[in-house]
Amino acid sequence: MDDDGSAATVMLGLAGFRLIAVSEYGGECEQAIETTAVEDFCRGCGVAARLHDRRPSWVRDLPAAGRPVTLVWIKRVWRCMETRCPVRTWTETSELIKVRAGWTERARAEACRRVGEDGHSVAQVARAFGVSWATAMTAVRDHGRPLVEDPDRLDAVAALGVDETAFLAANAKHPTMFVTGMVDLRGRRLLDVVPGRSSKALHDWVSARPPAWRDSVSVAALDPFRGYATALSTSLPGAVRVLDAFHVVQLGFAAVDDVRRRVQQQTLGHRGRRDDPLYRIRRVLRRGAEHLTDHAWNRLLAGLDAGDVDEQIGLAWIAAQDLRRIYQRATDRDTAQRRLHAWLEHCADSNVPELHRLARTIDAWREEFLAYFSTGGVSNGPTEAMNLLIKKIKRVGHGFRNFDNYRLRLLLHCGVTWQTHQPTPLRGRLPRLAA
C-alpha cells in the first residue's frame, strides 16, 4: 500500500498517513503526521500541482499506551501551476480526519462504540476524550445511525416478541409514556422501539416491513394485551400467536396478591402493615413452590394459618402453582389442553371471585395459551431480558427526554452486532518480527 512500513507508521495505524515525530506534551502524547501523498492534481484543470505551503492542524485521537494522543497533521497546501486556472491553492483533506473536526473519525467511532456496545454514558465518554457532551453525542449519532438504520439489521427474524416498557415516568405535564419494543426471540436482539403501546403502534411498524420479512415470521410471542393481538392478526396473519408464559404465570400470582389484599382488608379492616401475618408472606406467596426452602415453607404455612381465615389465599396459591405446572409438565398441545380444561373447571368451582376472573382471562386467550405447546415453547424470555438491558440504558442516561436519542441508544446497545476485534490468545504464538 502507500504507507512506508516503518515501525512508527504501523503504530499509527492510520491508512494514508505516516508518523514523522513524537513528543510529550504535558503528560500527553503528541504525534506529528503527514499524508503519504506526494503529488496532487488540480480539481479545476487537472494539471499537476506544486507544494505551496505546510500548515499544522491539531486533532484528538484514540489514546495510545495509556496516554491521551493529539495528532498534529502537517497539512500540505497545493498550488495549481496553470496561470489561466481560477483555482489557486487548496489544502489536502482526508476522510479519516474531517475538516474542522476536533478529533479523528476513529476516535469518534470509538466514542460511539463505548456508548453503544459498552453502554457507557455520553458524559463519561466525552470526559474520556476531552470533548463536550454535544460533540460526543454528535459522534454517537453520526456513527450510530448508519448501524441502526441498516436494513439488513432486521434480517432473518423467525420469532417475534412484543412487549411494552415505560419510557418516561408520569409527571405534572404528562402521564407515564410507554414504548412498544419488538424483539427477535431467536437472535435475542432488539429490533426496534416505537412510541405508544397501542394496536396501531405495532401494526404500523410491522406493516412497514417488506412482504418477505413478514412472511419469514412464523411465531409471535405477546403479553396478554388485546391491542397487540389484534395488530398481529392483521399485519402478520401467517404467524402463530403465542401467549408469553412469563406473563401468564404473573397473572396467576397477581390473582394471589388480589386475594391476599381482600382477605387482609376484610379480616383486619386495613391495608397490609409490616407486622400483619399476610403482609409478611407477600413475597413468599409469589415464588414457585419448588423454589421454597424449608424455612420459607414454614413461614408460608404459619402466615396462612394466622391470616387466611377462609383458606381462599391457599386456594388461589394452589391455582397459581398449578397454572405454572401446566408449562412444566405438559409436553404437547393435547396434554396441555386437558390440563388447562381441568384447571379452568377447578377455578370455576372455587368460591374465590379472583380465580373466576383469572379463569375467564386465560380462557379468552385459550388458543394463544395452547399455541405455546405446539410451537416448541417459544417464550418472550428474551424480551424480558431485553427489558433489563433497556432499564440499564435508561439508568445510564439518567432518563431520556428525547425519543430519538432514546431509540438510538437502545438499539446501539441491544440491537446492533458490533464487529469489535477480540484479542487473540498469546499462548503458542511465534515471533513474527523481522529483526
Residue numbers at the binding site for Zn ion (CB under 5 A): 42, 44-45, 80, 82, 85, 87
The CB-of-167 to Zn ion minimum distance in angstroms stands at: 55
Contact 174, 195 (CB under 8 A): no
Between CA 382 and CA 387 the distance in angstroms is 9
The CB-of-91 to Zn ion minimum distance in angstroms stands at: 15
The CB-of-78 to Zn ion minimum distance in angstroms stands at: 10
Cβ proximity to Zn ion, 80 vs 263, nearer residue? 80
Cβ proximity to Zn ion, 37 vs 169, nearer residue? 37
Find cell 506526494 and name the residue: 38
The CB-of-76 to Zn ion minimum distance in angstroms stands at: 16
Cβ proximity to Zn ion, 87 vs 177, nearer residue? 87
The CB-of-124 to Zn ion minimum distance in angstroms stands at: 48
Radius of gyration (Cα) for the chain, nearest Å? 31
Do the bridges between strand 159-168 and strand 49-64 make them parallel or antiparallel, or are there none, so unpaired? unpaired
Q: What are phi and psi of 432, to 5 degrees?
A: -115, 10
Cβ proximity to Zn ion, 25 vs 41, nearer residue? 41
C-beta neighbour count of 180 within 10 angstroms: 24
Contact 160, 219 (CB under 8 A): yes
The CB-of-52 to Zn ion minimum distance in angstroms stands at: 12
CA angle 160, 334, 366 (to 5 degrees): 55
Contact 60, 104 (CB under 8 A): yes
Cβ proximity to Zn ion, 77 vs 292, nearer residue? 77
The CB-of-51 to Zn ion minimum distance in angstroms stands at: 15
Between CA 331 and CA 328 the distance in angstroms is 8
The CA–CA distances, whole Å, from 212 to 79, 216, 375, 425 equal 55, 6, 21, 42
Cα distance between the two ends of the chain: 21
The CA–CA distances, whole Å, from 325 to 198, 331, 352 equal 31, 11, 20
The CB-of-41 to Zn ion minimum distance in angstroms stands at: 8
C-beta neighbour count of 36 within 10 angstroms: 14
Cβ proximity to Zn ion, 45 vs 254, nearer residue? 45
What cell numbers appear for 323 in the block?
397454572
Nearest Cα to 252, choosing from 145, 365, 332, 402?
Answer: 365
Cβ proximity to Zn ion, 42 vs 201, nearer residue? 42
Cβ proximity to Zn ion, 37 vs 302, nearer residue? 37
